[in-house]
Amino acid sequence: MRIIATLLVTACLTQGAWAQFKLIGPGFLPDLNGTNLDDSPIKKVSPQASAQATFKNCPECPEMVVIPAGSFQMGSNDYSAERPNHRVNIASFLMSKGEVTQGQWKAVLGSNPSHFWNCGPDCPVENVSWDDVQKYIAKINQITSLDFRLPSEAEWEYAARAGTITAWSFGNDESKLTDYAWFRDNARGNTHLRGQKLPNAFGLFDVHGNVWEWTQDCWHDNYDGAPFDGSAWLSGCQGNYRVLRGGSWDGASVGIRSALRLGYHQQFKGKYYGFRLARNL
């Protein structure tokens, strides 16, 4: 039997929280075809068109990028939690260009919960639970009269892939990861300022590494029965577990792939976990 990714083992041991994780199986070396999607047709999108369209509606608001509508093959056929690989249709929506920062969190809620508080206001906020994020969203929506939310898991993967079918948003060449991500090989044990690495083709920064990102969906062990319309999967939930995506500063290269998923209890927090926002168009 294949072993669980070092990324997940390290995170669990560090926090002493084995019972709070849904151990999901992926995190091994990807095959030569990245996500094994070569035989699946994909509707082409135009990332260059969307990467230029951004919105910032208020001082507290993150800068949002227009994600164009399209369809894609979600997941992979490599690991049980990423199966079945399936087609999902995505309506155009807005997604924050980067992870929500410590400064943005403090501007809304008046405090900074981050473990790496000395990283600075432009570093991603972390040490926040899914429940904490819901309080932040309720407050910023009250302040701004807008409709911020967490992205669905499908929206997150679609935006992170930005039209690709490979292990990472830029391809399968692992040697290029340091150009795009803060992870175990280069992060030196902490988070980093947002936007220092290259963005993906949709103009999003740090979709790989830096901090895991909460999504709206509750946890399921695989995609059997998952929605095909890009909406959050909120039925048939396995306890109070929610889905995290993207990997963190402590992740190995295989642990920050576009298809990788993690389930974590919505009330628990840690120095690995942050989020980015979405909005409807």
DSSP 195: T
Angle, helix 102-109 to helix 130-144, in steps of 10 degrees: 60
Q: Cβ(119)–Cβ(189) under 8 Å?
A: no
Give the pLDDT of residue 270.
96
* H and E: helices and strands count for the chain: 6, 11
Structure tokens that stand for 187 in this block: 């992060």
Residues 176-205 pLDDT 10s: 999 999 999 999 999 999 999 999 999 999
pLDDT (average), residues 211-238: 97
Residues 204-215 pLDDT 10s: 999 999 999 999
Structure tokens that stand for 221 in this block: 């062990």
Q: Does position 30 have pLDDT exceeding 50, yes or no?
A: no
Give the alpha-carbon dihedral of 179, 129, 166, 209, to 10 degrees: 20
User: 87 has which bridge partners?
Assistant: 73
Give the pLDDT of residue 55.
83
Q: How far is CA 11 from CA 17, 20, 217, in A?
A: 8, 11, 21
Q: Cβ(6)–Cβ(260) under 8 Å?
A: no
Predicted TM-score of the model (pTM): 0.84
Give the pLDDT of residue 52.
54
Q: In the 3-class helix/strand/coil scheme, how is 8-68 assigned residue by residue?
A: HHHHHHHHCCHHHEECCCCCCCCECCECCCCCCCCCCCCHHHHHCCEECCCCCCCCEEEEC
128 SS3 class: coil
Domains of the chain: 6-280 (3.90.1580.10)
The set of residues, in sequence order, having a beta carbon less than 8 Å from that of 233 and lying 6+ positions away, is 152, 153, 217, 218, 220, 226, 227
